Structures are given as C-alpha cells and as structure tokens.
Chain A
Amino acid sequence: MATDLTDAEAIVLGIADESDMIHVRQAIRQVAQRAGLGLVDQTKIITAGSELARNILVHATGSRGTVRVERVRERGRQGVRVTFLDKGPGIPDVERALADGYSTTRSLGLGLPGARRLSDEMTITSAAGTGTTVVIVKWTR
C-alpha cells in the first residue's frame, strides 16, 4: 500500500524568522515521538529539519516559507515526513548544492548534504525563480 497520510495530525508552520526554528524543531520532535522513533532517530530528523529551516531563512529572503510535519505509514512501519516549501530564488544546480562544502553564503555548506545523510529519504524539487520544495522522511527501525 502506498504511503498513507495522517492529515489530521499534520502540523503546518510558517518560517519567517529565527525564532520559528525552535517551533519547527518542537513540531518535528512531537510528531517523531508520536510515530515511535527512537531518541537517536528523533535527534537526526530534528537536526536535519533545523538545517533545512535555516536554509529557508538564509536563502529564501523576502518570501520565506512554510513547513509541514506529518506522521506517515507505509508497509506497517511509521515515520515522520517534513516538507519545506519556499518561493525563494530556487536552487539552480541541485547536484552541486548536495555536495559537501558547497556554499553560496559563508556557511560550512553542510545544510543540504548533512540533512540528506541524517534522513532516510530526501527529495528536492527546485527551479530557478520558482522556489524549492524539500521533503525528508525518517522511518522507525
């Protein structure tokens, strides 16, 4: 069976300034706990979410974005899925943005590649000028 959304439990938050990052972390923690993720996996997905939320604050200036946190089920296992949406400048070269150390700002360039390592699944949809959608999933073991 395909992934079954548990829409009623989805948490949707705006990402407009730094204080929202704390809300994003708390929302992911709440849903990850409800999905039954262990402490290490919770920590990983919250940290990945923190990196992606900061990416929106740093890159999608002006428009900013939203995050949706939901519990998902697939083949008897549960997980947490976090979807980041922004209408920023987009990522012209996703492959390059996923390489360690690549940064257009003065950061360490660990945001996207780090978030990918910490997640079980990550998909990026982006085009210059239309914004970016990043989806990460972490499953129970």
Chain B
Amino acid sequence: MTEIIPILRIGETLLISLQGELDDATVLRIEEQLTREVARTCATGTLIDVSGLTIVDSFIARVLTRIAGMIRLLGSHAVIVGIQPAVAITLVELGVPMGHLNTALNAEQGMALLRRLRDDGDRSD
C-alpha cells in the first residue's frame, strides 16, 4: 500500500490514476505529491482518474475535493474523471458534498473540459 503513484505529464496537463484500495496515509501522500507537482511543473490542468477505485468513502472524497481546491488556489484546474456508477450512487447517498467539483465521464471528456476551463480563463484575463 505504500507504492509510489506515478504522475504523468502530457504537455501542460498532469494525469494521476488512482487504483485499488487506498488507505488514508496514501490518500494524504497523493494530496501533497500532486499539489507540489502542479506548482513545480506550472501545469495548467490536472486530470485525476478514479476509474480504478471501487470504494470512495467520505475521507477519500473529502481529500479529493481538498486537492481540487488547492489546485484551484494555485491558479490551475483539476478535473476528476471516471467515477464508477456504483461509487457515484454511494457518494450521493452518503451525503458527501461534491457537486462543485469539475468532473467528467472519462479521460477524453476530462481533457475537453480542461481545454474549456483554460479557454475561459484566458478570455477573462
């Protein structure tokens, strides 16, 4: 459970793919690692792929929203992609507020959303 989770860089976009069973310590490490990497690389967007997560409890959900908020504060965008349908149903029933997050069905649509968010940002500059 202490394996390093790779963060890929594609142009100005970072991609991290979360898989398997995450313990709390791993989730917190990802938060720190990813936020640092966004600042270091000046990435304009980050895709967080959670399609490999079969369980997202309130702690993991809370850290995911926190990561998105931190990336936003850095002047970048985060999009969470690939939430499993069973996970989405469970999170809504659990009551975790995630409505304000940028989400997309899959990585491709997530990239398109990031492009739109970047363009909107450029226009308002």
Residues of A within 8 A of B (CB): 18-19, 21-22, 25-26, 39-40, 42-44, 46-47, 50-51, 54, 100, 107-108, 110-111, 113-114, 117-118
Closest A-chain residue to B86, C-beta based? A43
Q: How far is the CB of A106 from chain B (nearest CB, A)?
A: 10
Interface SS of chain A: helix, strand, loop or mixed?
Answer: helix
Contact between B95 and A44, CB atoms less than 8 A apart: no
| Also in contact, A43 and B89, with CB within 8 A (given A50-B55, A110-B58, A110-B94) | yes
Contacting B59 at CB < 8 Å: which of A25, A39, A54? Answer: A54
User: Does B120 reach chain A (CB closer than 8 Å)?
Assistant: no
Q: 17 additional contacts, CB 8 Å, given A22-B23, A114-B58?
A: A18-B25, A22-B1, A40-B86, A44-B90, A47-B90, A47-B94, A51-B57, A51-B58, A54-B59, A107-B59, A107-B62, A110-B58, A110-B94, A114-B94, A117-B94, A118-B93, A118-B94
| Also in contact, A113 and B21, with CB within 8 A (given A22-B1, A44-B90) | no
| Also in contact, A108 and B86, with CB within 8 A (given A18-B25, A118-B93) | no
Rounded to whole angstroms, the CA-CA distance of A127 and B47 in the bound complex is 46
Contact between B93 and A117, CB atoms less than 8 A apart: yes
Most B C-beta atoms less than 10 A away, residue of A18, A21, A47? A47
User: Does B35 reach chain A (CB closer than 8 Å)?
Assistant: no
Most A C-beta atoms less than 10 A away, residue of B62, B86, B96? B86
Rounded to whole angstroms, the CA-CA distance of A46 and B24 in the bound complex is 16
